[in-house]
Amino acid sequence: MKLRENNHVVGYLFAAPFILGFLVFIVYPVFSSLYYSFTDYNLLESPNWVGLDNYRTMFTDDEKYMKSISVTLNYVFASVPLRLAFALGVAMLLNKAISGIGLYRSAYYLPSLIGGSVAVSILWSQVFGDQGLVNSALGLIGIDSDTSWIGNPATALWTLIALSVWQFGSSMLIFLAGLKNIPKDYYEAASVDGANKVRQFFKITLPLLSPIILFNLIMQTISAFMTFTPAYIISRGEGGPLDQTLLYSLYLYKRAFVFYEMGYASAMAWVALIVIGIVTLLIFQSSRYWVHYESKGDK
Amino acid sequence: MKKALTGLVSLALVMSMIGCGSNNDKDAASSAPAASSPAASSAEASPSASEGDNKDPVTLRVAWWGGQARHDYTLKVIEMYESLNPHVTIEPEYASFDDHWKKLAPNAAAGNLPDVIQMDISYLSQYGGRGQLEDLTAFTQDGTIDVSSISEASLSGGKIGDQLFAMNLGSNALLAVVDKAMLEKAGGTMPTQDWKWEDFTKLGPIMKAQGKILTQDLRHDVFFPFYLRGQGQHMYAADGSSLGYADDKPFIDFYTMYQTWYDNGNLLSLDKLAQKKGTPEDGELELGNAVSTWGWSNQFILSSSVAKRPFEILPVPGWNDNKALFLKPSMYFSIAKNSKVKEEAAKFISFWVNDIEANKIIMGERGVPVSSKVKEALKPSLTPDQAKVFDYVAWAEQNSSQMDPPNPVGAVEVDKLLKDTAEQILYKKLTVEEGAAKFREEANKILAKNKK
């Protein structure tokens, strides 16, 4: 008996760094942010309780807030499917047994390693700048362009989406693992029965991969909602021309650290949390109609 | 389960106590060398440093924003101060303008602002009015900050009401930097000092024929308020709770003119402007694509040194209407309310504005010095470009009126709103009239909200 209690103590002792860190850096900030979201906290003075004012302003009296929501939704709905499709496509290519495949895999994964970093965003603003790579490439095929793609309201958001698609590596790796798990004899049987490649893809690959797709979809959707660095760096913290790249997190950041409205920013963060939660839940709910688990035996 | 919880809680307590303990240890450890090294050096300097009471080692945190050139010379001045005051150790904290303010805000919330803070006029009300800054009046009265050779007008730029929250580091005036050689090569003539906005507009086609633009852009938050002054109006009401004007005509006039320049291709297109870093190195004038750049006088030196071509200075058109021209403190030093070494901070500021040797390093980079003694002493060693700026500011001083009071709280957001509105006008999402009305309404809302 005594010994068992001691065992607990040792366990907690080892877990203590995490538990303390969790309390201090997660639990406390989360709850203080909830409190601040009901105040007018401006960092310089102590907060005053304003009830639901921040939430009310957000939805009834803040044009930019609405703009940032529509920008973010556009971004999520365009970038996530594109990114997943791209990742799956490349994963299928890399699933072939050719020599030097390891090298190709590393090369394609590389952009994700340097992923959300500042350096890539700066590189991106060069690539899509008025004297950048894209315009030079267009020049080579005879299209004369000196527009700045990141500064043009019509294309600014698409440069961000392109950047996100380019960083497909981590979802690709997971897809690759999933593809490797599909037994080869399924395909052999199908081809004996006369199914072509396209049919095999839709009847074998996609259903068997659907749990992996679900996982990637959820992870990528959440991270797309929280995208910040590229929008911040590429638009120099401004949110781009006519607010075309004013992603939700960027607007939240501006409210907090440029205008010093911590209360409002906290309220925004809570709304984001709830919305992301709901979207994730919806994806989960929908999954029963399209995700196929072999173990359930519902073939 | 209960047992486990109590165990957890007591463990947390123990750990936090250990945490505190080790923190204290660390403090002691880190302050020990800091304490010993000045002591050692003051022992060497004992003959001069024998005044006694100010020998306790002091650490001053000094924070500023700027580019690399400013960081370099500021660190030199700090070194100089430390060698003259061996008991003082200065911890420099520097960043770009945006990052400076992003760092200050959380520090303010934690009551941990640096002792000496470089302050900007657009944030002065925010920090001063919300109890974050020390009133410097006591220090100027007892001579800790020597203001004997500084005029009242120069000092007043750092005041809110009758409290002096910031010490002016130098005077600035608005100007246009013009590439005379480029203009004349294009067949234009250099405008006179009394030029009007129409004269600037007329240069547009001349430069365009050469494939050049008039200027990159005019900063909206600077030049629209200036234009308003020329119309006898002000950007902000005296109490800061609303805009200072109710009639949209000046806004419509200014932005109609601005839109004409833009539509004629005399300004940098917005998509390219969005990419500009705002440093002289990527400025259109400096790169030789534009005939002018518009800004504050202290930026002239950097522009011409980057471009390596001689430029001319012209006052802003309409400077004489209603005495629109004004002198503005380029930037300030303030002392944080939470500072524990306010007197030492005040001594450092006094050194900065009054010491001639230090100012020979600074060379008016933070604006023309406020001390008349320093200004005189620097004159012989000025480069021709620096002399141009000193002369222009001296001329402006004779031809200017009182500047507007520091921008009210919320002005940072209003400035962004103005820029957004101008952008929407230039992209033709709004007509000038719609933009004028929308800006006025929303700006008033922001200001009212912040006033409470």
- Condensed to tens digits (0 to 9), the pLDDT of residues B16-65 reads 444 443 333 333 333 333 333 443 443 334 344 444 455 688 889 999 99
Domain B58-169+329-395: give its CATH superfamily: Periplasmic binding protein-like II (3.40.190.10)
The model carries a pTM of 0.80
CB B284 within 8 Å of CB B293: yes
- A125 vs B: CB within 8 A: yes
Helix (H, G, I), strand (E, B) or coil at B4: helix
Helix (H, G, I), strand (E, B) or coil at B322: helix
Q: Is the dihedral of CA B147, B149, B152, B157 positive or negative?
A: negative
Predicted pLDDT of residue B115: 92
Cβ separation A45–B131 shorter than 8 A:
yes
Cβ separation A12–B15 shorter than 8 A:
no
CB B208 within 8 Å of CB B264: yes
Predicted pLDDT of residue A54: 87
Cβ separation A148–B274 shorter than 8 A:
yes
Residue reference for tokens 């933070």:
B366
Spatial CB neighbours of B51, under 8 Å, sequence gap ≥ 6: none
Residue A281: inside a domain, yes or no? yes
- B391 vs A: CB within 8 A: no
Chain A CB contacts of B412 under 8 Å are: 258-259
Query: Domain residues of chain B, as ranges?
Result: 58-169+329-395, 173-326+405-449
Provide the pLDDT confidence category of residue B431 given band limits of 50, 70 and 90.
very high
Predicted pLDDT of residue B7: 52
Provide the pLDDT confidence category of residue B358 given band limits of 50, 70 and 90.
confident
Residue A16: inside a domain, yes or no? no
Chain A CB contacts of B3 under 8 Å are: 5, 8
- A243 vs B: CB within 8 A: yes
- The answer on pLDDT for B114 being more than 60 is yes
Predicted pLDDT of residue A242: 85
Distance CA A206, CA A211 (A): 9
Q: Which residue on chain A is closest to B16 by alpha carbon?
A: A20
Provide the residue range defining the domain that includes A114: 63-288
Chain A CB contacts of B106 under 8 Å are: 43
Residue A297: inside a domain, yes or no? no
Predicted pLDDT of residue A269: 92
CB A146 within 8 Å of CB A130: yes
ipTM confidence: 0.77
Provide the pLDDT confidence category of residue B403 given band limits of 50, 70 and 90.
confident
Provide the pLDDT confidence category of residue B93 given band limits of 50, 70 and 90.
very high
pLDDT-above-90 percentage for chain B: 14
Per-residue pLDDT of chain A (299 residues; tens, 9 = 90+): 555 566 788 888 899 999 999 999 999 999 999 999 998 888 888 888 888 888 988 888 888 899 899 999 999 999 999 999 988 988 888 887 777 777 887 777 777 777 567 777 778 877 887 777 888 788 788 777 777 888 788 888 888 888 888 888 888 888 888 888 888 888 888 888 888 888 888 888 888 888 889 999 999 999 899 888 888 888 777 777 888 888 999 999 988 888 888 899 999 999 999 999 999 999 999 988 888 877 655 44
Range in B13-17, B156-160, B288-292 with the lowest mean pLDDT: B13-17
Nearest chain B Cα distance for residue A236, angstroms? 8
Predicted pLDDT of residue B398: 85
Q: Report chain B's mean pLDDT, rounded to a whole number.
A: 82
B2, B271, B428: best to mutate for the A interface, most A CBs within 10 A? B271
Nearest chain B Cα distance for residue A129, angstroms? 7
Nearest chain B Cα distance for residue A109, angstroms? 29
Residue reference for tokens 């995208």:
A227
- The answer on pLDDT for B212 being more than 50 is yes
What is the distance in angstroms between the CA of the first residue and the CA of the last residue of chain A?
51
Predicted pLDDT of residue A165: 86
Distance CA B235, CA B418 (A): 11
Distance CA A43, CA A34 (A): 15
B58-169+329-395 and B173-326+405-449 in the same fold: yes
Torsion of CA B37, B38, B40, B43, to 10 degrees: 180
Distance CA B364, CA B382 (A): 9
DSSP string, B332-346: EEEEBTT-S-HHHHH
Find the CB nearest B105 among A236, A242, A260: A260
Residue A34: inside a domain, yes or no? no
More confident residue, B355 or B42: B355
Nearest chain A Cα distance for residue B129, angstroms? 10
Residue A94: inside a domain, yes or no? yes
Torsion of CA A198, A203, A204, A207, to 10 degrees: 120
More confident residue, B38 or B69: B69
DSSP string, A83-134: HHHHHHHHHHHHTS--TTHHHHHHHHHHHHHTTT-HHHHHHHHHHTSTTSHH
Q: Read off the CATH number of the domain in which A281 is found.
A: 1.10.3720.10
Instruction: Please report the number of interchain residue pairs, chain A to chain B, with beta-carbon separation below 8 angstroms.
Output: 85
Q: Which residue on chain A is closest to B270 by alpha carbon?
A: A151
Chain A CB contacts of B274 under 8 Å are: 148, 150-151, 235-236, 238, 240-241
Q: Which residue on chain B is closest to A131 by alpha carbon?
A: B272
Residue A273: inside a domain, yes or no? yes
Distance CA B326, CA A51 (A): 44
Nearest chain B Cα distance for residue A77, angstroms? 25
DSSP string, B225-251: HHHHHHTT--SB-TTSSSBS----HHH
- A10 vs B: CB within 8 A: no
Cβ separation A44–B131 shorter than 8 A:
yes
Spatial CB neighbours of A248, under 8 Å, sequence gap ≥ 6: A68, A69, A71, A72, A225, A268, A272
Indicate the fold that domain B173-326+405-449 takes in CATH: D-Maltodextrin-Binding Protein; domain 2 (3.40.190)
Cβ separation A241–B132 shorter than 8 A:
no
Residue A51: inside a domain, yes or no? no
What is the total count of domains within chain A?
1
Nearest chain A Cα distance for residue B263, angstroms? 16
Nearest chain A Cα distance for residue B246, angstroms? 22
Provide the pLDDT confidence category of residue B205 given band limits of 50, 70 and 90.
confident
CB within 8 Å of chain A, chain B residues 74-113: 98, 101-102, 105-106, 108-109
Closest CA to B392 of B99, B69, B173: B173
Residue A124: inside a domain, yes or no? yes
Predicted pLDDT of residue A203: 83
